[in-house]
Amino acid sequence: MSSRSRRGLSDMTSREPTATTPLDKTSETEPLAWKRARDLLDAGALAEAACFLGTVRPDGRPHSARIGAAWYDGNVYFQTGQQTRKARNLEVNPACTLSTSLTGIDLVFEGLAERITDGPTLEAVAAVWREGGWAAEVSRDGIVAPYNAPGTGPPPWQVYRVAAHTVFGVATAEPYGATRWQF
């Protein structure tokens, strides 16, 4: 991890759940600690992970797409082109899920997608993507890079924060369990 990343971690907001609920009703496992998920996220695990964004089409049908995500200041961020199906869905209904599988734990974030346009936050999130190997730069109220997914459309791409009210975690390594964290 670069010294820039280490400095950023100490500045990160440490959001803590307001409620923790174990979901495994068949055993006496303890709820998973939010720290387990947060430590992986703080260490940059999203840079290597496959992430999927779930949105709702205007007619109510679900839509899911693989996206690139970043963890910054206790929140998950993603980017997409203005004309993509996910961006058009979020324009009508900001409710979304973001799912990922990290080492030892699967996570699902539920919340609202909020478009981010302020320069300092865009620069901070672009820096996280650069540290993960994607050469993102701020341009106007979005980001640009030498490449992106083929269906994303022309840059600049819009950046969104998932304002998560609930996160589900299912451990895929010991200690096992399934937990809902509410924020």
Task: Indicate the residue type of 18.
Answer: T
Where does the pLDDT of residue 3 fall: very low under 50, low under 70, confident under 90, or very high at 90 and above? very low
Q: Which residues constitute the domain of residue 135?
A: 3-182
CATH value at residue 155: 2.30.110.10
How far apart, in whole angstroms, are the C-alpha atoms of residue 18 and residue 15? 9
Tell me the DSSP string of 1-17. --HHHHHHHHHS-----
Instruction: Report whether pLDDT(169) > 70.
Output: yes
Bridge partners (DSSP) of residue 139 are 142
Structure tokens at 127: 């820096």
Bridge partners (DSSP) of residue 21 are 180
Q: Tell me the average pLDDT of the chain.
A: 92
List, for residues 27-54, the tens digit of each pLDDT value: 888 999 999 999 999 999 999 999 999 9
Q: Identify the pLDDT of residue 13.
A: 56
Q: What is the mean pLDDT of residues 144-158?
A: 94
Q: What is the mean pLDDT of residues 59-79?
A: 97
Question: Cβ distance 74 to 111 under 8 Å?
Answer: no
Domain count, the chain: 1
Percent of the chain with pLDDT over 90: 87
Which carries the bigger pLDDT value, residue 11 or residue 166?
166
Structure tokens at 10: 């100490």
Instruction: Report whether pLDDT(181) > 90.
Output: yes
Instruction: Report whether pLDDT(99) > 90.
Output: yes
Question: Cβ distance 41 to 181 under 8 Å?
Answer: no
Q: Which residues contact 174 (CB under 8 A, 6 or more apart)?
A: none
List, for residues 100-141, the tens digit of each pLDDT value: 999 999 999 999 999 999 999 999 999 999 999 999 999 999
